[in-house]
Structure 1
Amino acid sequence: MRTDYVHGYTPAETRRLSDQAQTLADLLHGGLEYAPGTRVLEAGCGVGAQTVQLVDRHPGIELVAIDISEESLARAKERVEARVEWRCADLHELKGEQFDHIFVCFVLEHLSDPVAALTSLRKLLRPGGTITVIEGDHQSAFFHPRSTAADAVIQCLVDLQAEAGGDSLIGRRVQPLLQAAGYDDIRAEPRAVYADETLPHLVDGFTRKTFIAMVESVRDKALAAGLLTAAEWAEGIRDLERTAEPGGTFHYTFFRAVGRT
């Protein structure tokens, strides 16, 4: 499950992932129940932003967290105090192991063949086990004031991720992906975020520190690729920032799907 992480492995990206996980904890994790004693695999744990939520919300689980980046795993170990079995590994290295549940969050968007990854993960689930997949869809971002310049910087992120072999619009197809990988009883649902000045925690935690920060992370790559000029980029970011000011609004949709073996 090799990835080309378009946002980069930087301290700023670690902060962004942490802000995102904390701000969206109830939205992304609400309703999930992993019983004590069950064996859970977090595939693609990164810097541990979602691992924190898993161990806090499901005490007593036996959690195995894997990632292909040693640097990310080191940061994850620093932030998670609970007992976790950490492994620097590709999911294909887990052949023969069995889990009751698998959790995959913001991983498939970076993979060139998500169906193959989901198929490999299905082989790790015990009969009746579940997989939970969470992904976003950048074309679900709409905002006020409207801005073609802001749309252009978002499109840079979409294009760069596609060039790297991923798909930042993958949220809309998590159900068919799970179906193609052979899962049963699939249930997918949208989980929308809306922020305006009456919801300052979401304006700061999501609009500014999650979404705008995510777009800004690809600035240098976008300019180097000639997708926009420096002036066009600055205009687009300024217009995105206006959506987080009084009178501005921002909407984004995540998709969460659960499948069974």
Structure 2
Amino acid sequence: MDSLIGYVHGYSEREARRLGDQADTLSELLHADTAYPAGATVLEAGCGVGAQTVHLVAGSPGVRWVAVDRSAESLAVARARVTERAPGADVRWYEADLYELPFADAEFDHVFVCFVVEHLSNPGRALVELRRVLRPGGTLTLIEGDHGAAFFHPDSAYARAVIDCQARLQAVAGGNALAGRTVGPLLRDAGFAEVSVRVRTVYVDDSRPELMVDFVLDTFTAMIRGAREQAIEAGLMTPSDWDRGIADLRRTAGEGGVFHYAFFEAVGVRPS
């Protein structure tokens, strides 16, 4: 069984670039305190095109990394990205399903999962499998965004509608664009202990013009814009209403605009 019913964002070169831009933009926000001790063996589950991997290996020198994804094409991109940006990093690559990992019990000291469970049809099952390959006392870090945390000025019903369309398409594909709020309960339900949750907030106004471009336009709006054809074909919005919604989202990155979003990070420990 595949871990993901369908990846709503697709596997285009443009999407790979967007994921890389997103990871670069959010690296300090999401990974500033993500560090593992030298000599540890850490599994990155659902590494995709390696967008997070390059930042993880940079923040934890001397760690033995294992990166897993179900897509051979994404793994090839990830390997090339890490080779270019983090030469010498100790990373082993595996094509595998998160529901049935090819690893022994308690093989890893830590597990890292970012922007993955939002695409899973059964995240609880995947997390139980990840707990299996984690040693007792080891940690699992789980990071997700949540479209319900998106609000902006000027407000726009059309902009809110295009975000909702992307969330609905993701639900049809078996995922959950509101996964961020669930990370704590997911870990607890999967049998992890000492679960803690932190909210990482992105607030952007015109005093931060670089972030307006990098996050509001090139990360969030670009992600929503990529669902245009699917939304129109599904009859969720008309082309003109969709284009107005995207234009209104772009306006929030202009003079006087405000944009807010939040990511949720949960860390849990595998009990002895």
TM-score by length of 1: 0.98
The answer on whether the counterparts of 1:94 and 1:124 sit within 8 Å (CA) in structure 2 is no
> Cα offset for 1:15?
1.1
Q: Which residue of 2 aligns with 1:235?
A: 244
Percent identity (aligned): 55
> Cα offset for 1:33?
2.2
Aligned residue identity for 1:245? G
Aligned residue identity for 2:55? Q
The answer on whether the counterparts of 2:27 and 2:55 sit within 8 Å (CA) in structure 1 is yes
The CA distance in 2 between the partners of 1:223 and 1:2, in whole Å, is: 27
Matched, 1:93 2:96: no
Q: In the alignment, which of 44, 53, 56 is matched to residue 55 of structure 2?
A: 53
Could you report, residue by residue, the CA deviation over 1:76-102 in whole angstroms, capped at 9, with x for unpaired residues?
Answer: 111102231011111313241510010
The CA distance in 1 between the partners of 2:193 and 2:244, in whole Å, is: 46
Could you report, residue by residue, the CA deviation over 1:191-241 in whole angstroms, capped at 9, with x for unpaired residues?
Answer: 000111111221111101110000011111000000000000010000000
Q: Secondary structure in 1 aligned to 2:20? A: helix
Could you report, residue by residue, the CA deviation over 1:159-194 in whole angstroms, capped at 9, with x for unpaired residues?
Answer: 000111110101001101100000000000110001
Please, what is the CA RMSD of the aligned residues? 0.9
The answer on whether the counterparts of 2:67 and 2:91 sit within 8 Å (CA) in structure 1 is yes
> Cα offset for 1:44?
0.3
Q: In the alignment, which of 25, 28, 37 is matched to residue 27 of structure 2?
A: 25
* Consecutive unaligned residues in structure 2, runs of 5 or more: 84-88
The CA distance in 2 between the partners of 1:256 and 1:87, in whole Å, is: 25
Q: Secondary structure in 1 aligned to 2:18? A: helix
The CA distance in 2 between the partners of 1:149 and 1:229, in whole Å, is: 11
Q: Which residue of 2 aligns with 1:41?
A: 43
Matches within 5 A, 1:8-23: 8-23=10-25
Q: In the alignment, which of 124, 139, 149 is matched to residue 140 of structure 1?
A: 149
The answer to which of 60-69 and 94-103 deviates more is 94-103
Could you report, residue by residue, the CA deviation over 1:109-150 in whole angstroms, capped at 9, with x for unpaired residues?
Answer: 000111111011001111110000000100100000000000
Aligned residue identity for 1:214? M
Q: Which residue of 1 aligns with 2:72?
A: 70
Q: Which residue of 2 aligns with 1:202?
A: 211
Q: Secondary structure in 2 aligned to 1:192? A: strand
Aligned residue identity for 1:195? V
Aligned residue identity for 1:124? V
The CA distance in 2 between the partners of 1:164 and 1:21, in whole Å, is: 23
Q: Which residue of 2 aligns with 1:249?
A: 258
Q: In the alignment, which of 170, 174, 192 is matched to residue 161 of structure 1?
A: 170
TM-score by length of 2: 0.94
How many residues align structurally?
261
> Cα offset for 1:30?
2.0
The answer on whether the counterparts of 2:101 and 2:129 sit within 8 Å (CA) in structure 1 is no
Aligned residue identity for 1:84? V
